[in-house]
Amino acid sequence: MAALREQRRDERARIVSGDADAVRRQHAQGKRTARERLEALLDPDSFVELEPYRRHQAAAAGLAHRRPATDGVVTGSGTVDGRRVFVYAQDFTLFGGSLGQAHAAKIHKVMDLAIATGSPIIALNDSGGARIQEGVLALDGYGGIFRRQVEASGVVPQISVVLGPCAGGAAYSPALADFTFMVRDTARMYLTGPDVVEAVTGRRVGHEELGGADVHGTSSGVATVVHDDEESCLEDVRHLISLLPSNYLDVPPDSGSVGAEHDRSERFADIVPVEPNRPYDMREVFAELADDGDFFEVHEGWAGNVLCALARVDGRVVGLVGNQPVVMAGVLDGPASQKAARFVRFCDAFGIPLVTLVDVPGFLPGVEQEHSGIIRHGAQLLHAYCDATVPRVQVVLRKAYGGAYIVMDSRSIGCDVSLAWPTNQIAVMGAEGAVNVLHRRELAASADPAATRRDLVAAYEAEYLDPYYAAERGLVDDVIDPAETRSAVARALAMLQDKRKPGPSRKHGNPPT
Ligand code: HXC
């Protein structure tokens, strides 16, 4: 027994320490090993590894005599702040983290366990993609991951962290996740790499320029969060987990009331100028509304004209959606609609109430927008809100015009409590635009068009932009003092906490994309 135990211990130590040269190369690239990453991600001593001895059974040339334990992926379960998660971390030091049949089967297993136990799945990706020597069995393994991700969608939260290469079809795994993290300089994601791009298009492009963290965090919108280094990235994954329920039947991790129902803050009115077109940073409003000023923003660098963040208000986890007046005047365009739609759907799937802060001049006009499908994208956001059965609170800070007013969780599409500041202007369009349409002939015939316009604008404003116009017609529940915004939202959320709204019987809807 003593000899067997010692042999087991030595073998296990060899598996854990890995190949020293490969580990050195990994460190030299500024990357941690799979096990070091799991140590940073999980609570100390909480990791339970599964199948550390598993090896590939492939007999292909070049593989038959090289059958390292783990097969290039460390899988298992651990806790984050005491809450269970399932994890897999690809090990680039073995076969470049490439995915073969055994590697895939290990991932399938932890995914199945995560779904069965109702626990989040966290994937740490660092891989050369399909293991070339294992041929179609590697592709079959990827298909099994994608199928399980779709099965897990809306059941347990899925977080994908890209910490190295993630090329070819493998990139669909982060794309299917609810949240995708990337690290600058080391992470890269593309369907076809620089060589193929050059061969097919003739354009030379570097890895970072083609699929680096900043590209996906700003242009493509594939990355939800971008970090400078692995340490802050994995710490941020822990922060995100602290805001998520473990599954769709679980309640979000509320932290208990902090007495916000009685809060007053003059800061709200200081942040937001009265003039409807003067910009301000909606992030400051988020901070004023959230407990401790703390919120977890998604897609910070992409579609900045709308902001989406998870936060707590009076201890309750909520999803905040807000127009951002400092970026493109807060207008809604295609990417902003897609960003907000996906966030709304995520919150709804996991029982997280929505608080929508509205200050929107409308949808972005333009040939490029129309041709790129702003109608589809706006409809996507509309569909997401209409479908959402979680508690929904709307706060109209200033302007809310036209279709954009409807889409930003108006009463008509099902918000439960609509609040508005005395600065609200809810209308089909702003005064200038309306006067142009309604009084074109009068303006053309006027001896003093500027004076006529001034009078007509003033008359329109007095009639249609009156702050009580919508409230008198039941489209706004209350016109509140800006200082009471946090307390009014906290009270609305408390009122709605037991909301139940079964959807119609059907297989599933068909949202526009
Ligand atoms: C087998 C692989 C591999 C792969 C890397 N390796 N990728 N082995 N299959 N796909 C091995 C290398 O042979 C090498 O082995 C070790 O991993 C480290 O690789 P290096 O090239 O030395 O590392 P580096 O210079 O850092 O380059 C990393 C890399 C490059 C950019 C990922 O290896 C690369 O381009 N690999 C191929 C990527 C690719 O085309 N994959 C297929 C994508 S298609 P040794 O023995 O020397 O340590 C795909 C389809 C999925 O994935 C479809 C799903 C639907």
What is the per-residue pLDDT for 218?
Answer: 97
Q: How far, CA to CA in Å, does 83 sit from each of 144, 244, 387?
A: 26, 10, 30
Q: Does 441 reside within a domain?
A: yes
Same domain as 144, residue 290: no
Same domain as 164, residue 98: yes
Q: Which domain holds residue 24?
A: 2-241
What is the per-residue pLDDT for 59?
Answer: 87
Express as a percent the part of the chain with pLDDT over 70. 100
- Nearest Cα residue to 358 out of 310, 407, 299, 313: 407
Q: What is the 3-state secondary structure (H, E, C) of 410-439?
A: CHHHCCCEEEECCCCEEECCCHHHHHHHHC
- Report the nearest atom of ligand 1 relative to the CA of 131: 9
What is the per-residue pLDDT for 61?
Answer: 74
Q: Does 279 reside within a domain?
A: yes
Same domain as 308, residue 218: no
The string of pLDDT tens digits covering residues 3-46 is: 999 999 999 999 999 999 999 999 999 999 999 999 999 999 99
Same domain as 210, residue 320: no
ipTM, 2 dp: 0.97
Where b means 16+ CB within 10 Å and e means fewer, 242-281 reads: bbbbbbeebebbeeeeeebbebebebbbebbeeebeeebe
What are residue 286's phi and psi, to 5 degrees? -55, -50
Task: Give the long-range contacts of residues 131-136, CB within 8 A, separation 24 or more.
Answer: 131/95, 131/98, 131/99, 131/100, 131/103, 132/98, 133/58, 133/60, 133/61, 133/62, 133/63, 133/100, 134/56, 134/58, 134/60, 134/63, 134/100, 134/101, 135/60
Instruction: Specify whether the backbone of 185 is left (phi greater than 0), alpha (psi in -120 to 50) or beta.
Output: left
Rounded mean pLDDT of 223-238?
Answer: 98
What is the per-residue pLDDT for 504?
Answer: 87
- Nearest Cα residue to 420 out of 346, 477, 341: 477
Same domain as 394, residue 345: yes
How far, in Å, CA of 313 to CA of 386, rounded? Answer: 23
- The rounded Å distance from CA 253 to ligand 1 centre is 40
For atom 17 of ligand 1, the residue with the nearest CA is 96
317 within 8 A of 253, measured Cβ to Cβ = yes
Same domain as 208, residue 293: no
In eight-state DSSP terms, residue 502 is P
What is the per-residue pLDDT for 506?
Answer: 95
- Report the nearest atom of ligand 1 relative to the CA of 142: 54
| Residue 95 Cβ < 6 Å to ligand 1 | yes
Same domain as 113, residue 73: yes
The string of pLDDT tens digits covering residues 262-319 is: 999 999 999 999 999 999 999 999 999 999 999 999 999 999 999 999 999 999 999 9
Q: Does 29 reside within a domain?
A: yes
The string of pLDDT tens digits covering residues 246-261 is: 999 999 999 999 999 9
- The rounded Å distance from CA 92 to ligand 1 centre is 9
Q: Does 362 reside within a domain?
A: yes
What is the per-residue pLDDT for 418?
Answer: 98
Same domain as 152, residue 90: yes
Q: Does 505 reside within a domain?
A: no
Number of domains composing the chain: 3
| Residue 139 Cβ < 6 Å to ligand 1 | yes
Q: Does 397 reside within a domain?
A: yes
Q: Does 504 reside within a domain?
A: no
Same domain as 273, residue 177: no
The string of pLDDT tens digits covering residues 323-358 is: 999 999 999 999 999 999 999 999 999 999 999 999
- Nearest Cα residue to 160 out of 144, 143, 175, 141: 175
| DSSP codes joined into one string, 223-267 | -SEEESSHHHHHHHHHHHHTTS-SSTTSPP------SGGG---TH
Interaxial angle between packed helices 282-289 and 485-496, expressed in degrees from 0 to 180 and rounded to the nearest 10: 60
Q: Does 181 reside within a domain?
A: yes
Express as a percent the part of the chain with pLDDT over 90. 97
The string of pLDDT tens digits covering residues 409-454 is: 999 999 999 999 999 999 999 899 999 999 999 999 999 999 999 9
- Tell me whether residue 319 is one of the annotated catalytic residues: no
Q: Among 98, 107, 136, 196, which residue has the most ligand 1 atoms within 8 Å of its CB, making it the best to mutate?
A: 98
Same domain as 279, residue 194: no
What is the per-residue pLDDT for 36?
Answer: 98
Residue 60 — pLDDT band, cuts 50, 70, 90? confident
Same domain as 233, residue 353: no
Answer yes or no: is pLDDT of 495 > 80: yes
Q: Domain with 9 in it: what CATH number? A: 3.90.226.10
183 within 8 A of 166, measured Cβ to Cβ = no
Residue 168 — pLDDT band, cuts 50, 70, 90? confident
Same domain as 485, residue 410: yes
